[in-house]
Amino acid sequence: MRLADDETLWSSSVVANRDMNRERGLASYRRELGIDVALPPGARWVDLCCGSGKALAEAARDGVVITGVDLVDHHVPARAGLDFVVAPVDRWEPEQPVDLVTCVHGLHYVGDKLGLLERAVSWLAPGGRFVANFDVASVRRADGAPFGRVLTKALRDNGFRYDNRRRLVSFEGQGTPRLPFDYLGADDRAGPNYTGQPAVHSWYEPL
């Protein structure tokens, strides 16, 4: 099996795909993540794989700091309280601690998904929160089999919550989780996932 490295993945037709939904508004974000995106004055929100940033624009106002990060430069216009960064989330990091980190249907396309989970949590301010759509079945062993419970246990042992039914991963508070897996590469020919869209499997070796 040929596994794709990051650069290959970012230009793959599965990731640079025009058919995926990049236009979700704030109400869809609330529904998809099962949280109320409430931003008190001074709050910092980072949205990874933000797409057009429609949801962020709806929440933006003076006094909050919202940053949307996406590979594709196809955003709504920036406005007070809202900035966009065109970058792979795999390489980007915020300059200051963040109160809320979200990723709505973006992890499905990322190579080192577990590395991103670890990094996103390490950015949280005291009392901060991370939540993302995440399908544990997209994380595979070197023989292609899913890790299943081994992975959900490792997530829980590291302070994450994983909602199997909603396929949501979350973390509250500060932390520096270390998930015991070594990233091997990505399979962008894995086919559709539970969303019905072609997605990327990420292969790991247990440590």
Ligand X SMILES: C[S@@+](CC[C@H](N)C(=O)[O-])C[C@H]1O[C@@H](n2cnc3c(N)ncnc32)[C@H](O)[C@@H]1O
| Residue ranges in contact with ligand X by CB under 6 A | 15, 20-24, 49-51, 69-72, 88-90, 104-106, 109-110
The residue with its CB nearest to ligand X is: 51
| CA nearest neighbour of 148 among 156, 159, 137 | 137
> Would you tell me how many other CB atoms lie within 10 Å of the CB of residue 63?
11
**How near is the Cβ of 142 to ligand X at its closest, in Å?**
22
**How near is the Cβ of 88 to ligand X at its closest, in Å?**
4
Please say which residue, 7 or 63, places its beta carbon nearer to ligand X.
7
**How near is the Cβ of 74 to ligand X at its closest, in Å?**
8
Please say which residue, 58 or 172, places its beta carbon nearer to ligand X.
58
Please say which residue, 69 or 100, places its beta carbon nearer to ligand X.
69
Please say which residue, 158 or 202, places its beta carbon nearer to ligand X.
202
Tokens standing for 51?
Answer: 């797409």
Side-chain half-sphere exposure of 116, counting CA atoms within 13 A:
28
**How near is the Cβ of 71 to ligand X at its closest, in Å?**
4
Q: Which residue has the tokens 């409430």?
A: 38
- Judged on CB neighbours under 10 Å (0-12, 13-18, 19+), 203 is buried
- Judged on CB neighbours under 10 Å (0-12, 13-18, 19+), 34 is exposed
